[in-house]
Chains A and B, each alone.
Chain A
Amino acid sequence: AQTVTQSQPEMSVQEAETVTLSCTYDTSESDYYLFWYKQPPSRQMILVIRQEAYKQQNATENRFSVNFQKAAKSFSLKISDSQLGDAAMYFCAYRRRNTDKLIFGTGTRLQVFP
């Protein structure tokens, strides 16, 4: 069975600094998607970034980028120039291609200090 592990329950960062959130996953599949979702205090889940496993290039969305290491089954999220609005729970998630189930990690709470 596929699993997603986020080993950092909480992280903190100073405004304008960079922080990296860790995620590892376990799968025997070769074709899948990986995601980072953000859940702010409003509780609505927002997609931050997506990575397709067959793409070697790491995904980037503005200040958010990933370090995707397929062999190591690692998918970390880097947030550059952190802002107060980045404070939230961040969830890593996995989905095998052509299936409809998204599997989530337990989340990392990110605090941003001014």
Chain B
Amino acid sequence: DGGITQSPKYLFRKEGQNVTLSCEQNLNHDAMYWYRQDPGQGLRLIYYSQIVNDFQKGDIAEGYSVSREKKESFPLTVTSAQKNPTAFYLCASSITGTYTGELFFGEGSRLTVL
């Protein structure tokens, strides 16, 4: 089945540690995204990538890093520089320059900083 797989579903981290959230898609989509969801704030864009080996900062990129070495994979690292990392993180993908405009989402990863 085609889709987007995020792992882990739940992650706990101590302050000062970097953590990496995985996102893999087998939809053959060019574009991939990371969103952060906090209560009452909707979804805010962290980073996105339209093509392998290229990515752009979104609205809240500070304290995060990404890589896009393969079309299928777009991991997000939450660094110790992110001041308030506890949140729900959603990965998404789409066909670039599209025709339908919609994003397809994974099931999300909840990160809790202890």
Across the interface, do B31 and A100 meet the contact criterion of CB distance under 8 Å? Answer: yes
A44 contacts B42, CB within 8 Å?
no
- Contacts A45-B105, A100-B94 given; indicate if A106 touches B40 (C-beta within 8 A): yes
Interface residue count for B (Cβ, 8 Å)? 26
Chain A residues touching B, range: 20 to 34
Given contacts A43-B88, A100-B96, contact A91 B106 (CB under 8 A): no
B-chain residues with CB within 8 Å of residue A104 when the two chains form the complex: 35, 42-44
Q: Which of B40, B58, B101 has the most CB of A within 10 A?
A: B101
Residue ranges of A at the interface with B (Cβ–Cβ < 8 Å):
4, 6, 9, 33, 35, 42-47, 50, 52, 91, 95, 97-98, 100-107
The interface of chain B, by Cβ under 8 A from chain A, is 31, 33, 35, 40-45, 48, 50, 58, 88, 90, 92, 94, 96-97, 100-103, 105-108
Q: Is the interface of A mostly helix, strand, loop or mixed?
A: loop
Known: A45-B90, A47-B102, A91-B42. A101 touches B107 (CB 8 A): no
Contacts of B41 in A (CB 8 A): 106
